[in-house]
Structures are given as C-alpha cells and as structure tokens.
Amino acid sequence: MHFSIPETESRSGDSGGSAYVLRKEYGANVLPAFPPKKLFSLTPAEVEQRREQLEKYMQAVRQDPLLGSSETFNSFLRRAQQETQQVPTEEVSLEVLLSNGQKVLVNVLTSDQTEDVLEAVAAKLDLPDDLIGYFSLFLVREKEDGAFSFVRKLQEFELPYVSVSSLRSQEYKIVLRKSYWDSAYDDDVMENRVGLNLLYAQTVSDIERGWILVTKEQHRQLKSLQEKVSKKEFLRLAQTLRHYGYLRFDACVADFPEKDCPVVVSAGNSELSLQLRLPGQQLREGSFRVTRMRCWRVTSSVPLPSGGTSSPGRGRGEVRLELAFEYLMSKDRLQWVTITSPQAIMMSICLQSMVDELMVKKSGGSIRKMLRRRVGGTLRRSDSQQAVKSPPLLESPDATRESMVKLSSKLSAVSLRGIGSPSTDASASDVHGNFAFEGIGDEDL
C-alpha cells in the first residue's frame, strides 16, 4: 500500500488509534509495533520515511490470516487510505484492463473497495454473480515493452481508485485475472460464455508472453483450434501445457542451486518454479511443491555499504525483500531456500492462497464457499454492457525461445551449496506455518 502520511495524528479515529484498538483486541504479540509518530511538523524526507514505515507495517500485518479476516483491521485500512490521500468521496471513471489489453471503463465511487469495483467490472462484462469470486483485480506496472509486472493482488481492504491514483504514474494499471490455481475449477467458469471468453483471452495472452511453455507442434495445434473458433478445445489443450495458469514474476536472484543465481520465478499448480541458466548449460527448471514447504517468511534488509557503516541518505532502492522457505529435499533433510525479489510479498501471498485452496479441497469443501462474497451484497448491473473481444491468432513461435529442461527429477540430486538458515532477526511470529505440509519418503521426490 502507498500512503502519504499526515503530519499530526491523534489516538482516536485515525491509523494510530486503530492500531491501538487492534492491539487491544488481538494482543501485542500478534501485531508488530506501530511506527512512532512525532508531535512536530515533518520535513518532506521524514514524511516519505514515515510513509514507508506505515506501508511495511500494513504489508506485514496483512499477511496474517487472522487479521486478514478482521473487519476492524480492514475498516482501519480502508479509512486510512482515503483520509491520508485526502480523496473526497465522489463518482469517478476507473479503467480496468483484461489480460488481452482490452479496456473496461466502470463508474465507481472513490470510496469503493476492491469487491465493489470487481462487481462493477463483472456487471459491465455481464459475468454471472456466482462467478465473480473466480476472478481478482491485480495492480500491475506496465513495462516499456508492454509486458505487465505484477505488483500485488488488490486486497479486500483496498480502495482501487485510491491505490492506483496515489502512485501518480500512468504505468500502473489494474488488471482482471482469474484468482484460483487448480485448473479443475476452469470447468465452472467455462460453462458460461463470458467466463469462457475471459479464460480464453488470458490463456492466449499468457502464451504470447511466453509464460506458458509451448512446443512448435503444440503451437500449430493451438492456432488450428483458434482458426476454428474452438475455444473450449483450445483451453483443454492449453491445460496440458507446462505453466498453464501460472503467474510469472520479474527476473530476480536465488541461492538455489548456488548463491546469487539469476532466476525467473513462476507460481502455479501448487508449486514455485525457478527457471535458471547454470554456467555453460541450457535453460533449466527446478520446481518446489508447496506441500513440501514446512514454512516460509518474508524479510527485508538494508545491505551495508562496503565500508560497513550505514548512510543516513541511503536510497530507497537499496532495501531488499527476501522470501525464504524451508523445503523438504529428502525424507530427513530440510533446507532453506531464499529468493531475493521486490515481489517477495506477492510470492508469499501466492503461496498462502495455494495452501488455502489445497486445504479446502482436502477437507471436501467448495471453492465457491472459499471465494466468499459479502452477505446481502447485490450485483449492480450495468446499463451498457461490454463484450470480451476475441484475441488475434497466435503469432509464430519465437525462434529465440529455448526449451526448458527439468533441473532434476530429484531435487536432492542437485548440488546445493551456500544455502543455510537465513541470517535474519525475524521472530517466530514472522514465519508462516504450512498446514498443507506433507511428510514424504525418498521415493516420492
């Protein structure tokens, strides 16, 4: 979240007061310390520092499932956004993009939260009420080449208009994308014409971006189905392809299989996939199943300069986020793996949502219930509905795109070095325990 921080605060009716209420309700051990405030006017540099502190506080607290379901907490964050940005409640036009770049303009209130905006987009597209929960809104940054870099999934407490406008840059957009990981749930969505078109547009876009791995022969078959306008058959074939439905992150660094290894991380199908190139070797891939992760945590650190002393004028870009998870490499061997990426928090949220989905499936529950919506909420149907445009035919495969080779059928066979327990000061409360963690034997790896 990005907030401009007012120069003065009081204990009641503001973010500091709400933090006090939350601490009283959930206990001091659940919540991290709220950023301290000053009584005097702040300099611009101090305002920016305070904004960063509050942003980190909110990101840290929002990862806690207990607090995530707290209406007190969500109300606190919704109010904080609007008040600190000094945005009056009024009707505005908000642009939401589909995966294929199609623009959907909806009329919303500046005070509308994510679910309100999602319902408005669904109404504009004529997506049925019971399918809204299968999709989510994401904040992305559009790169110079037109590709999207995912910043985060917009959470329930967010006010999408305030979130995107507060960034004050045209490169930030809001995108509609499916919110689940298991492709078996595609069947529910594909029963509806609009849902089918949304999945189809997203899949074509992912193939064009190179997110879904396709051979030349598979590409030929997909294009043939496109020409026949056989959308369901197209999706059935796409479901069999590697990385179908995955979310890809920007290039980053990991300590697997060796220290400072450049990787591209993708999340999907209950796993994190790391694509990497070892010296003198072709492009390879290693996969980490979420059910083999005992726990994970996100930490931030500020590397010291070569002199070993900190600088008061340190730039914001030097703050480093890391996702570290403890992975069951073999029956009796757990190993920490660390990914250093500005998108570490979103990776953590993806892991948590995959675990949530697995637990619902394991308990025999319904994803429709998991993707809950407000009780008594009504869908505001739009007077002027908009059709999902069919994407153009797939272009010829990129000749420079290499095929991927699995790093190993057994991760334990890979030479791992430089991977130890992360040297952080994170407390036990910063660690996300994984209820979907499964004990395994060597034959299962």
Token reading at 97? 């993009």
Pair 324, 314: CB distance under 8 Å:
no
pLDDT at 23 (0 to 100): 67
pLDDT at 300 (0 to 100): 83
Give the bridge partners for 334, in sequence order: 328
pLDDT at 13 (0 to 100): 45
pLDDT at 58 (0 to 100): 62
pLDDT at 81 (0 to 100): 72
Q: How far is CA 64 from CA 19, 159, 417, in A?
A: 15, 20, 32
DSSP string over 77-144: HHHHHHHHTTPPP-EEEEEEE-TTS-EEEEEEETT--HHHHHHHHHHHHT--GGGGGGEEEEEEEE-T
Taking the C-alpha atoms of residue 67 and residue 65, their distance in angstroms, rounded to an integer, is 6
Taking the C-alpha atoms of residue 310 and residue 200, their distance in angstroms, rounded to an integer, is 51
pLDDT at 294 (0 to 100): 92
Residue 286 one-letter amino acid = G
For domain 246-300+321-371, which architecture applies? Answer: Roll (2.30)
Positive/negative CA dihedral, 239, 243, 246, 248:
negative
Taking the C-alpha atoms of residue 283 and residue 407, their distance in angstroms, rounded to an integer, is 9
Q: How far is CA 46 from CA 2, 82, 131, 301, 393, in A?
A: 15, 21, 45, 20, 52
* Pairing between β-strand 405-406 and β-strand 283-289 as defined by DSSP bridges: parallel
- Provide CATH 3.10.20.90 ranges for the chain: 87-179
HSE-up of 254 (CA within 13 Å, CB side)?
Answer: 28
Provide block-wise average pLDDT over 10 residues at a time, the chain (445 residues).
Answer: 38 53 64 57 61 62 64 73 78 95 94 94 95 94 86 87 87 95 94 97 95 95 96 97 96 92 95 85 87 91 59 54 94 93 92 91 71 48 70 70 53 32 43 66 42
For domain 181-245, which architecture applies? Answer: Up-down Bundle (1.20)
pLDDT at 71 (0 to 100): 73
List of E strands, 302-408: 320-330, 333-340, 405-406
pLDDT at 310 (0 to 100): 47
Q: How far is CA 319 from CA 50, 304, 325, 342, in A?
A: 15, 10, 20, 9
Which H or E run includes 195? helix 193-209
- Provide CATH 3.30.1520.10 ranges for the chain: 1-9+18-86
- Provide CATH 2.30.29.30 ranges for the chain: 246-300+321-371
Token reading at 198? 């949304």
pLDDT at 287 (0 to 100): 93
- The DSSP call for residue 242 is B
Residue for token digits 């369901």?
232
Of the candidate CATH numbers 3.10.20.90, 3.30.450.90, 3.30.70.260, 3.40.50.1010, the domain formed by 87-179 belongs to 3.10.20.90
Domain 1-9+18-86: CATH class, spelled out: alpha beta
pLDDT at 311 (0 to 100): 44
Q: Is 16 exposed, middle or buried (0-12, 13-18, 19+ CB in 10 A)?
A: middle
